[in-house]
Amino acid sequence: MSNKDRLFELQEKIGYKYKNIGYLERALTHSSFSNESKQKPESNERMEFLGDAVLSIVVSNHIFHKFHLDEGDLTKIRASLVCEKSLFEFAEKIQLGSYLLLGKGEELMGGRTRPSVVSDAFEAVIASIYLDGGLEPASKFVLSFVKDELEHNTQHSFLDYKTMLQEIIQKNPEEKVSYVLVSETGPDHDKVFEVEVHLNSNVIGRGKSSSKKSAEQLAAREALQLMGENVGR
């Protein structure tokens, strides 16, 4: 298969039609290939830099609106989605490693399956879409992976059970959810908070934890379980 055919094949997997497919070719060009080539094509390193920034703003915007959490928790969610491990897993879904342009040495060292190489190329691909078509198609590409990760991985500790419960309850405007601190025990350095979640005047869930916020989340999780919602173990 020619390089041109391979580019068009990857374009199909990406789900975006390039006006200038040269952006995609540059995104796939590892520095080892550039260094060994007589033509010295530009590598994907600069695009990786831009793609990282686009990825961050897209993910930040999405989780800001999806989760009603504080800055620290939002930062943790973002970090888990934009880390090398996650990007490598996203890239594997479109078999990105098989399309990379690598130098002979990098090829022999297994560059096509090296997480650092492939995840960097994934960021470069994000940049290629952004440069060719702007933020909207780049966002669509990123969120096709991120939304799937958030919706199907119910084991993530950052799931916002309070928001999930609120979204269910608000379908009935006459219903009201409130969280009540029932007890606070233990010394200052090792406190345990017990919280109840009330639906109107009825207790529908309880939670205990070392922080009030976490206890509220656990109470909401128990309420969701009682409602038959799938919130993992």
Q: List active site positions.
A: 52, 123
The DSSP secondary-structure symbol of 44 reads S
Under 8 Å between Cβ of 44 and 28: yes
CB atoms within 10 A of CB 129: 26
Give the residue among 131, 122, 132 at the shortest CA–CA distance from 96: 122
Give the residue among 221, 225, 92, 89 at the shortest CA–CA distance from 159: 221
Three-class SS state of 112: helix
Under 8 Å between Cβ of 114 and 33: no
Q: How far apart are CA 42 and CA 33, in angstroms?
A: 10
Q: Tokens representing 119?
A: 């995840």
